[in-house]
Amino acid sequence: MTLDWSVVWQHRDALAQGTATTFLLTVATMAIAVPCGIVVAVLRLYGWSPLRSLATAYVELFRNLPLILVVYWAFYVLPILTGLGLSPLATGLAALSLNVTAYNAETFRAGINSIRRGQVEAAMALGMTRLQALRRVVVPQALRRVLPVLASTWVSLFKDTSLVSVIAVTELAYVSMQIRAQTFRVLEMLTAMAALYWLLGYPQAKIVDWIQRRWSVTE
Amino acid sequence: MTERTKAGGSTIIRYLDVVKRYGAFTALRGVSLDVHAGEVVCLIGPSGSGKSTLLRCTNGLETIDGGDIEFEGTRLARDDRGLRAMRQRMGMVFQNFELFPHLTALQNVAEGPRTVLRMPLDEAERRALAMLDKVGLADKAPNYPSALSGGQQQRVAIARALAMQPDVMLFDEPTSALDPETIGEVLNVMKALAEEGMTMVVVTHEMTFARRVGDWIAVFDAGRIVEQGPPRQIFDAPTTERTRDFLGHLGWTG
């Protein structure tokens, strides 16, 4: 078997485009899923009880569905539900956001719950309101505690964006598969794809490690 | 009851037949006690006898199920706003310090004046530094709690409470979580505070401190005060069997 690696270089522009879309999807998903995750977590913890149940149902649904199913579901069902003709990119972004928001909500909820009761009591003993205690004492500590988890979610998300290739979002995986289909250079393209994901993902994982060291609060 | 040396001061806290239940368990079965201005009142007794519970009821961290607590002549508020106003005048020190780990020592002490009293940052920090100096830790101002020993953390916690310029200080077993070699530095700060005339309610297992610094001792057992009086009475001539028992178990020989 002869290998022809030139195919990778020939398609560098398409691969660069795909890589850019992968990054865009990751950044946009997190930009949506972090604030939404905080809102869902706070609703689950302190919300009016019907809202609390709704938030719980949402989290339990999307945390326990395979992401690829959610992607397909968004592709076929969202247009019917919303009456909008969403682009594959927007559909993929919606599916990823639904999934990651559910995970982030659990992360934030665990973070807030992990702060000892005594911390709130110490704040209230100074004369703070419950909201001041949450804002000045609980949330700042909770954010620091969950930052490493959020960073790991980021790294997983970066790879999971490849799942939206099934609905023809032209990110890195989809582009690579397209080139493979056109050139029949299966081994070369799969290897190139693996190398690209790894080279891009590894530094991010290292940054996560650094964040964990830098931001951990010791007591 | 024997003479009460500082009873001339006005009554700051009055507990009247206080009852506290947790479900089926009754933690306080009708506790009555007066705390006068400038007094150091020590609550002693076995674990689970209700002394910490009474302290936590004092500033409304726990609600009471019966009786009354009066603070500076008014009934303890039941609404949030009223409670907050009262808490500002009562400093509290916890067994586990409960310093805010994401803030430096200085920021910990300045937090109350900043957030609750809405003091400008520089003014709050000036006051915080003065309070840290008072507990002998001005040089630790930029340190985070994790870089301090247990004794130092507790002194910062005392400074944090003092920064609100309270009328009363409540101490909930302030030395129970400390290494033996750092207990002394915390007790010294408390003693100095008492000598300045601060009114203090102290839940403690430090019998030497209670005897030397306390003006009035209340002995708790099973949710009741079994005996109260000046330290000489409690430690040298206890009038109840239960007090003798408790002190005997501690190996206290007077």
User: Which of the four pLDDT bands, split at 50, 70 and 90, describes residue B249?
Assistant: confident
List the one residue out of B122, B105, B104 whose CA is nearest residue B113.
B122
pLDDT at B2 over 60: no
Farthest CA pair distance, chain B? 56
Asked whether B165 and B1 are in contact (CB, 8 A), the reply is no
Contact criterion met (CB below 8 Å) for A33 and A201:
no
Please tell me the predicted confidence (pLDDT) of residue B204. 96
Contacts of A118 in chain B (CB under 8 A): 94, 96, 98
Contact A118 B87 (CB under 8 A): no
Nearest Cα to Cα of residue A135 among A120, A150, A149, A151: A120
pLDDT over 70 at B159, yes or no: yes
Q: Which residues of B touch A140 (CB under 8 A)?
A: 102
Question: Taking CB atoms and an 8 Å cutoff, what residues of chain B touch A218?
Answer: 101, 144, 146
Q: Give the pairing type, strands B199-203 and B216-221.
A: unpaired
A122 to B98: CB separation less than 8 angstroms, yes or no: yes
The count of other CB atoms within 10 Å of the CB of residue B66 is 14
**In the predicted model, what is the mean pLDDT of residues B219-248?**
94
For residue B159, give the chain A residue with the closest CA.
A126
pTM: 0.82
DSSP string, B133-183: HHTT-GGGTT--GGGS-HHHHHHHHHHHHHTT--SEEEEESTTTTS-HHHH
Contacts of A136 in chain B (CB under 8 A): 111, 115
Give percent of chain B above pLDDT 70. Answer: 96
Reported as a single tens digit per residue, the pLDDT across B125-146 is 999 999 999 999 999 999 999 9
Q: Which two tokens stand for residue A32?
A: 């949506």
Minimal CA–CA distance to A136: which of B129, B148, B126, B110? Answer: B110
The tens digit of pLDDT for each residue in B167-178 reads 999 999 999 999
A123 to chain B: nearest residue by CA? B112
Contact B87 A126 (CB under 8 A): yes
Judged by CB atoms closer than 8 Å, whether chains meet at B164 and A219 is answered as no
Question: Best mutation site among B84, B104, B162 for testing chain A: the one with the most A CBs within 10 Å?
Answer: B84
Q: Which of residues 23-42 of A touch B (CB under 8 A)?
A: none
| Chain A partners within 8 Å of B116 (Cβ) | 126-128, 132
Per-residue pLDDT of B72-113, as tens digits, reads: 999 998 899 999 999 999 999 999 999 999 999 999 999 999
Q: Report ipTM (2 d.p.).
A: 0.93
Interatomic CA distance for residues A63 and A156, integer angstroms: 14
A47 versus B242: the higher-pLDDT residue is B242
Residue A148: per-residue pLDDT: 86
Residue B8 confidence (pLDDT): 65
Is A159 an interface residue toward B (CB < 8 Å)?
Answer: no
The helix/strand/coil state of B229 is: strand
Name the residue among A127, A130, A137 with its Cβ closest to that of B116: A127
Least confident of A141-150, B23-32, B192-201: A141-150
10-residue mean pLDDT profile of chain A (219 residues): values are 86 92 96 93 89 95 94 90 86 95 95 93 95 90 88 92 92 92 91 93 88 72
Give the neighbor-by-neighbor strand order of the sheet with B74-75. B25-36, B11-22, B66-71, B74-75
Mean pLDDT of chain A: 91
